[in-house]
Amino acid sequence: MGSTGVAPAAGQDADDERRDVSDAVGVAVLGACAVWSLITAAAHGGRPEGVLLAVLAVAAGHAAGRICGSLLPVAAPGAAALAGLGLLVAVPHLAPGPQPSAPLGHAGAAAALLSLATGAACCAAWSAGAAALRPALGALAAGITVSAAVVGSTTGFVACTAVLLASFAAGRVRHRGPALAGLALIAVLVAGGAWAVAGRVLPPGPAAFLEGPLTPHRIGLWQDALALARAEAALGVGPGRFGELSRTVAASPPSDGKPHSALLQQAAEQGVVGVLLLAAVFCWMLHALWRTARPTPVALTAGAALTALAAISAVGNALSFTAVTAGAGLLAGLATARPPAG
């Protein structure tokens, strides 16, 4: 009888060790993001407040998700999904200050928030032990997807649909590692495509095809960001300084002063190290989902939602909104929280 208690204890110790490693990596990566923004700001007189706020939002959201996910594994992600939808309805612009005209604006942030809310609803459905709750929570996820179409967010509708389909498929996946690697590859391809468009390395046909939905104005911002990144590859021009140095921004007021691509903004304002740190944050979240003791469908659903956010951020301005960065940390925390006892 003594041996029956040894295996669970050993498994719990291994789980705790994996969680400790993942937590240590997360603290190191987020801390490095904050420190590097201060270094680049000191070098060129930039404004690191936006980066520091984003780091704080991710950390706070992740901590809240870990706590609430352990105590209320079904209610917490369900409430988070409703909160995301409610926030989008109550605060259409998601942030104060001047709003750039269409097609830039806050559309990317709205799409990102909807995809995170859909992922949270699906995670709640997979965590529900009662069979009666799963259809209701699945209906909530479908309702959020439909609401994206109702509010006119085509990107949000596509992203929510992708998260919903990925969540359905996650129930048939036994090994989460290859699936999470595939999600990482999708994010790399989208980011590489944005970089290729900015660098004008695509053939004329695909370049002309992408210019319509992306718009010449956005592509002009990307080209300015890439030019600044090439000029200051080591430290960048300093956080928050893209709007001061971009000719496209100066020629088209009002503007939020952003290049509308997280990847290119990091490259322009914080150099190569900034890009690597941004990628490290995403990889840390996927690694935490790989090591979590939560069921595979929960991990893969959260991974799909975070990948949708990464793709939207590669071609938009989503990460400049505190609600989005806090939501990303919250979803990652909910999906990696310690399962409740029993």
Cis geometry, peptide bond prior to residue 103 (ω within 30 degrees of 0): yes
Q: Is residue 221 part of a domain?
A: yes
What span, in angstroms and rounded, lies between the C-alpha atoms of 305 and 145? 12
Q: Is residue 150 part of a domain?
A: yes
Residue 266 falls inside a structural domain: yes
Residues 6+ apart with CB under 8 A from 104: 215, 217, 218, 256, 260, 317
Which domain does 273 fall in, by range? 12-335
18: confidence class by pLDDT, cuts 50, 70, 90: low
Average pLDDT, the chain: 87
Task: Give the span between the Cα atoms of 30 and 34, in whole angstroms.
Answer: 6
Helix (H) and strand (E) counts in the chain: 14, 0
| 4 found inside a domain | no
Confirm whether 341 is domain-assigned.
no
Report how far residue 182's alpha carbon sits from residue 307's, in angstroms, rounded to the nearest whole number.
Answer: 10
pLDDT in tens, 177-234: 999 999 999 999 999 999 999 999 988 888 888 888 888 889 999 999 999 999 999 9
Please give the model's pTM, rounded to 2 decimal places: 0.91
Instruction: Return the DSSP state at 230.
Output: H
- Judged against a pLDDT cut of 50, whether residue 7 lies above it is answered with no
Task: Give a yes or no: residue 119 inside a domain.
Answer: yes
Q: Position of tokens 């509708």?
A: 157
Count up the domains in the chain and report the number: 1
* Residue 7 within a domain: no
Output the pLDDT for position 14.
60
127-131, 183-187, 252-256, range with the lowest pLDDT:
252-256
Question: If you search the block for the tokens 């806050």, which residue do you land on?
Answer: 106
DSSP H or E run through 60:
helix 49-71
Q: Is residue 2 part of a domain?
A: no
Residues contacting 51, CB < 8 A, separation 6+: 33, 34, 37, 239, 270
Distance of CA 50 to the CA centre of its chain: 16
Residues 162/114, Cβ–Cβ less than 8 Å: no
